[in-house]
């Protein structure tokens, strides 16, 4: 656990950049990053863009896998995670488009899409650093409470509380808010060599407390990280309030 008095996104970005630079990735041996969406990681993306523009880190040999995507939203829908990633990060950096992986929520066969994703992760040798945010209820990516801790990439029905929370992005209209998503599983996260979860604000205090001091349970998926060899939660003082 790291409680930051400063901007935790900036800390995370510099940590990631250093790991990439120390690894010295090449075409044959790329660095593999697992990436999140949400409001929490935006500061990290902005700092990574700055470091890239200043020549302090390159993404030329970095392969990325996003955590999740809604089912049934067009890729250019402003709330799709495809749009978020391109708009907030990829179009500003020197990454090779071929190295970007995001689950296709419009695939004809969703199960096959998820299986293929796991295969692709395995083929590049696994994820070096999995970055993430956390939901107020302890969800990781779209692994809602009740998700199996052994889960792999799959489709997931969203809980009513998540649908209600997300409806603010869809004009407050529950009807228009996606009810299904594709998401990497908890075991997919556990297989990453290193995991970093970022949490900001009082609304995340319960989830952070459960993650660190709670019993490991599928009802709070982030608690699985207690079993991970190298998991770090970085949060501000508000998110650490219940510890
Ligand atoms: C969604 C995403 C999660 C994210 C969470 C919190 O549920 N699928 O990956 O961690 O939102 O988002 P925020 O950072 O905006 O609080």
- For ligand 1, is residue 240 a contact (CB within 6 Å)? no
Q: Which atom of ligand 1 is nearest to the CA of 37?
A: 9
Closest residue by CA, ligand 1 atom 11:
38
pLDDT band of residue 165 (cuts 50, 70, 90) is confident
108-134 pLDDT, tens digit each: 999 999 999 999 999 999 999 999 999
CA distance 88 to 86: 6
Q: Is 111 a catalytic residue?
A: no
- For ligand 1, is residue 67 a contact (CB within 6 Å)? yes
**Residue 6 pLDDT exceeds 90:** no
Q: Is 139 a catalytic residue?
A: yes
Mean pLDDT of 88-100: 98
Domain tally, the chain: 1
Rounded to 5°, the CA angle 67-68-73 comes to 155
Q: Is residue 52 part of a domain?
A: yes
What CATH number should be reported for the domain holding residue 96? 3.40.50.1360
Q: Which atom of ligand 1 is nearest to the CA of 165?
A: 7
Q: Mutation test of ligand 1: which of 135, 167, 203 has the most ligand atoms closer than 8 Å to its C-beta?
A: 135
Q: Per the residue annotation, which of 68, 69, 118, 236 is the catalytic one?
A: 68
Print the domain residue range for 191.
2-235
Closest residue by CA, ligand 1 atom 6:
135
SS (H, E, C) the chain: CEECCCCHHHHHHHHHHHHHHHHCCCCCCCEEEEECCCCCCHHHHHHHHHHHHCCCCCCCCEEEEECEEECCCCCCCCCCHHHHHHHHCHHHCCCCHHHEECCCCCCCCHHHHHHHHHHHHHHCCCCCEEEECCCCCCCECCECCCCCCCCCCEEEECCHHHHHHHHHHHCCCCCCCCCEEEECCHHHHHHCCEEEEEECCHHHHHHHHHHHHCCCECCEHHHHHHHCCCEEEEECCCCCCCC
Q: Is residue 241 part of a domain?
A: no
Q: Is residue 242 part of a domain?
A: no
Average per-residue pLDDT in the chain?
96
CA distance 201 to 238: 5
53-78 pLDDT, tens digit each: 999 999 999 999 999 999 999 999 99
Q: Is 68 a catalytic residue?
A: yes
Determine which of 148-152, 156-160, 196-200 has the lowest per-residue pLDDT on average: 156-160
Backbone angles phi, psi at 170, to 5 degrees: -120, 45
**Residue 1 pLDDT exceeds 90:** no
Q: Is 92 a catalytic residue?
A: no
Please report, rounded to a whole number, the percentage of residues in the chain having pLDDT higher than 90: 96
CA of 141 to the centre of ligand 1 (A): 7
- For ligand 1, is residue 80 a contact (CB within 6 Å)? no
Q: Is residue 243 part of a domain?
A: no
Q: Is residue 94 part of a domain?
A: yes
**Residue 3 pLDDT exceeds 90:** no
194-231 pLDDT, tens digit each: 999 999 999 999 999 999 999 999 999 999 999 999 99
Q: Is residue 68 part of a domain?
A: yes
Q: Which two tokens stand for residue 124?
A: 């590049």
**Residue 5 pLDDT exceeds 90:** no
Is the alpha carbon torsion for 211, 174, 115, 104 positive or negative? negative
Q: Is residue 240 part of a domain?
A: no
Q: Is residue 204 part of a domain?
A: yes
């Amino acid at each position: 656990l790291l409680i930051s008095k400063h901007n935790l996104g900036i800390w995370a970005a510099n940590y990631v950049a250093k790991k990439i630079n120390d690894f010295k990735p090449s075409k044959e041996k790329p660095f593999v990053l697992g990436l999140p969406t949400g409001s929490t990681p935006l500061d990290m993306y902005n700092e990574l863009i700055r470091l890239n523009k200043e020549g302090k880190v390159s993404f030329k040999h970095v392969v990325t896998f996003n955590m999740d995507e809604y089912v049934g939203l067009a890729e250019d829908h402003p709330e799709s995670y495809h749009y978020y990633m391109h708009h907030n990060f990829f179009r500003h950096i020197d990454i090779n488009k071929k190295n970007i992986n995001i689950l296709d929520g419009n695939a004809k066969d969703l199960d096959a899409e998820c299986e293929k994703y796991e295969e692709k992760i395995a083929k590049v040798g696994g994820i070096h650093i999995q970055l993430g945010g956390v939901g107020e209820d302890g969800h990781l990516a779209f692994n809602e409470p009740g998700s199996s801790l052994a889960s792999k990439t799959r489709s997931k029905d969203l809980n009513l509380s998540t649908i209600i929370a997300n409806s603010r992005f869809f004009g407050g209209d529950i009807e228009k808010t996606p009810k299904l998503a594709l998401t990497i599983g908890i075991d997919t996260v556990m297989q990453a060599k290193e995991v970093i979860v970022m949490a900001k604000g009082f609304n995340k205090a319960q989830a952070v407390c459960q993650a660190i001091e709670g019993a490991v349970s599928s009802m709070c998926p982030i608690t699985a990280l207690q079993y991970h060899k190298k998991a770090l939660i970085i949060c501000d003082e508000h998110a650490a309030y219940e510890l």
